[in-house]
Amino acid sequence: MAELAGSALQQALGRLVVETHGAGFTDVSAAVDDWLARERAGNGLLTVFIRHTSASLVIQENADPDVQVDLLRRLDWIAPRNAGYVHDCEGPDDMPAHIKAMVTGTSIAIPVQNGRMVLGTWQGLYVAEHRDRPHRRELALHFLGEVGRAD
């Protein structure tokens, strides 16, 4: 187990606004890594939370865009439009978006080493937009660990 020699855990809080372009995935990996760098994060744990009920966060492949196409198709299969939902006040994509967000999740915890998210070679952090039209989505960021490292 690594010991923090004489340093107490600290935290950094922030937010990130993401413009989506309708249903699909928006890669936020670089923006989150930039925030970690600005906060001078060292080693610790990052929690990312999306403040919405019709969009979600996913860690997914960042190499082959066909993966995202297949994921969107499967999510549409899980939560189809026009399935007789009671909640439909914002259109046929409304309730399916809530179901997709529930299935995929609204928060993710990611280890951070040397100020960068510890993601696999083919992984990226994405906002999954489940609505048809573009939206402004807000992410709450919380880093707990070594803060103030020298580059």
Helix segments in 2-151, DSSP class H: 29-38, 65-78, 94-104
Please name the residues in contact with 136: beta carbons below 8 A apart, sequence gap of 6 or more.
17, 18, 19, 20
pTM score, two decimals? 0.91
pLDDT tens per residue, range 41-77: 999 999 999 999 999 999 999 999 999 999 999 999 9
Report d(CA 123, CA 93) in Å as an integer: 28
Q: Is 11 helix (H, G, I), strand (E, B) or coil?
A: strand
Task: Decide if 112 contacts 40 (C-beta within 8 A).
Answer: no
CATH class of 11-147: mainly beta
pLDDT tens per residue, range 106-144: 999 999 999 999 999 999 999 999 999 999 999 999 999
